[in-house]
Amino acid sequence: MIKLARIFQDGMVLQRQKPIRLWGETNRKQNVAVSLDGKILYEKELPAGSFSIFLPPREAAENLTLVVSGESETLIFNNIDIGEVWIAGGQSNMEYPLRFDIEADSIVPYADDAHLRYYETGKYSFEGEEEEGFKDTRYMDKWLEFNPENAVYFSAVGMYFAAKIKASLNVPIGVVGCSWGGTTAYAWLGESYLDANPKFAPYLDEYKAALEKLDIAKYEKKGEKARRLMASELVQRMIANSLFGKSLFSDVGMRMLPALLKVIGYTLTKGPKDPNRPSGLYHTMVRKIEGYSGRGVLWYQGESDEARADIYAELFSAVIRCWRDAWRDELPFFFVQLAPFGKAGMGSGKNFPAVRRRQEWVSKHVSDCYMISSGDAGLPNDIHPKNKRPIGERLALMALGKLYGEDILCDAPELAHSSVSGGEIVLRFAYAGEGLSVKGEKLNDLKVIVGGKELKDPSAGTEGDCVKIQNPKISEKLPIEILFAWAGYSNVNLYNSAGLPAKPFKWEYAPENV
């Protein structure tokens, strides 16, 4: 017997220009040969047990056949493409299916690209969950081509990213989804990386305490019942309408919410089958695909970590290190700064500014990490913005500029220098391109505090790469604080010449001799 990992199947996309890793297991020592489109690329005796095979790098190609031959059986994989492969990780805003996107009706019926493909890693929170048979697996663990039947299952962010990359590079694109709504970063992180940093101890201590109090028999009984209910058509429709299709706290959502939370609550009770337990999804999802040769990682996550925003920079950095080690490849990470969100029911984006600040720190201090701004792409009362095009396309723009070598403006404007003089504050921005502009009558989300008092109507306008704020109360002799988009929800309307919204910032000025 010779068997490859599940991700290797008909219709897969393999990474070009890098060694292609195949892995699996065999029940006995045997000679194995691997050929791609009729050319033998590997031939060697493999020992019994797990194995890894590396094929030499190839350039982009379409519709190839991969053959893995053992001594007593042959595995044949058809319709194989070689192109660009991206891993798409995170929580619900990465998971967000294209069928709920605001443009779904104009995209899904006309989806037609056999060489833009998506693979959704099976969403199982514990070993054996798949065998229970409750979950709808029609779209999981399968390579799907972009057509009307399959497009509804694509990650919306992943699809918009892939389409833009493909239009520029003209090679096959594969996106491997590995995301789960409502999860914190520590669920995606191996134990050794959690143990290595004392700041992560509260996560482990909380989980340990929960296990000690757990009535395991009751937990197992209620959990199985909840998983069965979660998989039912009715509950799935409730989730779709409440969490994705409509605002969670719409009238319909509020009527559904009590029953929905009861069912979800059973499945999320802290315990050995909770997807959000420390390192849980690292084992049940990441390890199923780790090492699948790819170009980089797309990441959209952080909403569920706002309670401990102070350590998010370390936590996210640990995830990056963990995944790079698992892939044995210094994969670049392209990630989304949290989109604006205000308040909805019990949910609040109060600590989002703190998370965003630490996300920006990661982009500045961890190698090959790039962050896009989403300050104009949120909703005040819904944590799931319905328009994913700007997010996916900005990620693609960043990848094209930073990784694929295109000479384009792909960074969002960010504060680079400031000065105070004679009733005027001048804020100079990096990455302004041909100049900054404001869409609308005035600059949104700008708070100017002079001498401890907020200016009611600061006169702010753009000039080249600068924002100039003029007011007679501004004085270099007084302390000044400026907050831009420094709230859970904002609606940024300051853009560079590439149409990218400025990043939020907090700036403080202290006069000399004070």
Asked whether residue 303 is assigned to any structural domain, the reply reads no
- Average pLDDT over the chain, rounded to an integer: 93
Asked whether residue 497 is assigned to any structural domain, the reply reads yes
196-to-60, 163, 204 alpha-carbon distances in Å:
40, 39, 12
Residue 31 pairs with which residues in a beta bridge?
45
359 — pLDDT class (breaks 50, 70, 90):
very high
What is the percentage of the chain residues whose pLDDT exceeds 90?
86
Asked whether residue 502 is assigned to any structural domain, the reply reads yes
Asked whether residue 256 is assigned to any structural domain, the reply reads no
* Least confident range of 48-62, 252-266, 332-346, 415-429: 252-266
* Least confident range of 121-125, 155-159, 250-254, 401-405: 250-254
| DSSP H helix total and E strand total for the chain | 14, 26
> Coil, strand, or helix at residue 400?
helix
Written as six digits, the tokens of 483 are: 């907050």
- The predicted-structure confidence for 435-457, as pLDDT tens digits, reads as follows 999 999 999 999 999 999 999 98
- The predicted-structure confidence for 465-505, as pLDDT tens digits, reads as follows 999 999 999 999 999 999 999 999 999 999 999 999 999 99
Please say whether the beta carbons of 71 and 46 come within 8 A.
Answer: no
248 — pLDDT class (breaks 50, 70, 90):
very low
Asked whether residue 428 is assigned to any structural domain, the reply reads yes
Asked whether residue 455 is assigned to any structural domain, the reply reads yes
Please say whether the beta carbons of 193 and 279 come within 8 A.
Answer: no
259 — pLDDT class (breaks 50, 70, 90):
low
Query: Which amino acid is it at 199?
Result: K
Nearest to 264 by CA among 307, 308, 222: 222
Say which residues have a Cβ less than 8 Å from residue 262's Cβ, sequence separation at least 6: none
Residue 186 pairs with which residues in a beta bridge?
none
* Least confident range of 105-119, 227-241, 495-509: 227-241
Domain count, the chain: 1
Question: What pLDDT is recorded for position 425?
Answer: 97
pLDDT at residue 426 above 50? Answer: yes
pLDDT at residue 11 above 60? Answer: yes
Of 3 and 231, the structure prediction assigns the larger pLDDT to 3
* Least confident range of 166-170, 183-187, 268-272, 506-510: 268-272
Asked whether residue 250 is assigned to any structural domain, the reply reads no
The parent domain of residue 473 ranges over 414-509
- Please report which helix (H) or strand (E) contains residue 41, including its range: strand 39-46
pLDDT at residue 61 above 70? Answer: yes
β-sheet with 453-454: strand ranges across: 453-454, 446-450, 480-484, 505-509
Place of tokens 């004085």: 475
Asked whether residue 473 is assigned to any structural domain, the reply reads yes
Written as six digits, the tokens of 443 are: 């600059």
What is the percentage of the chain residues whose pLDDT exceeds 70?
94
Q: Which CATH number covers residue 438?
A: 2.60.40
pLDDT at residue 256 above 60? Answer: no
269 — pLDDT class (breaks 50, 70, 90):
confident
Measured distance CA(450)–CA(457) in Å, rounded: 12
